Amino acid sequence: MSNPDSFIDEVTEEVRRDRLFAMMKRYGWIAVLLVVLIVGGTAWREYAQARDASRAQAFGDAILGALDAEAPEARIAALSQVEATDPGAEAILKLLSAAEQGSAGDDAAAVAQLQAVANSAEVPQIYRQIASYKALTRGAGTLSLDDRRAGLQALAVPGQPLRLLAEEQLVLVDIEAGDKEAALARLKDIVQDSEATSGLRRRASQLIVALGGSLDDLTVQDS
């Protein structure tokens, strides 16, 4: 390559450097800002995860400590002192308190706690459904037969996670109402339901026999 060509290449390269340095001076702060944001975001995420894990552990430890008390009344009092960090945690506390109130023989208070969870729009749906189911199964002394039937039918809708358990409770409602034929029909549907567990099928089969029904015409689906 001739000297003029070499000289031109050197000049071109120098111009490129000048332009690059000019661009860095003009826009370099953007790159620095991006690096700061990335590093800061990563640090904040790690801090938030560590904080949430610490809070969850403290919440769990507080619950375990409250449940260590011997008497149900003492456990209820201890659970009332545990601080919930979010609506889900508050729902868990109320579910546990309701269980202890039931153990203490106070079904009315237990049902009230459970209904408060079931009716709260801030609580995750699965907690609301569990609370509603427990309130309906525990509320024989405080809720009417029609109220329990309506509540269980709402949980027995196809696609709901507690559908078959609600169907099982509806059988007991039918028996309580004196409608043995409806109870038998519902039990047979449970036995033949492909989503029913072996334990649920066994209970339903035993109850069919206890009610004087027959298992001969049933086809059991594999779950």
Task: Report how far residue 101's alpha carbon sits from residue 218's, in angstroms, rounded to the nearest whole number.
Answer: 41
Task: Report how far residue 208's alpha carbon sits from residue 185's, in angstroms, rounded to the nearest whole number.
Answer: 9
Measured from the Cβ of residue 59, the count of other Cβ atoms closer than 10 Å reads 18
What average pLDDT is seen over the chain?
A: 84
Residue 136: name the closest of 91, 104, 169, 167 by CA: 169
Measured from the Cβ of residue 17, the count of other Cβ atoms closer than 10 Å reads 10
Task: Report how far residue 30's alpha carbon sits from residue 219's, in angstroms, rounded to the nearest whole number.
Answer: 70
Give the whole-number percent of the chain exceeding pLDDT 70.
Answer: 83
Domains of the chain: which residue ranges?
A: 1-68
Per-residue pLDDT tens over the stretch 65-106: 888 888 889 999 999 898 888 888 888 899 999 999 988 888
**DSSP-derived 3-state class of residue 117:** helix
137 with 118: CB under 8 angstroms?
A: no
137 with 173: CB under 8 angstroms?
A: no
Q: Is the pTM of the predicted complex or chain greater than 0.85?
A: no
126 with 161: CB under 8 angstroms?
A: yes
> Would you state the pLDDT for residue 47?
72
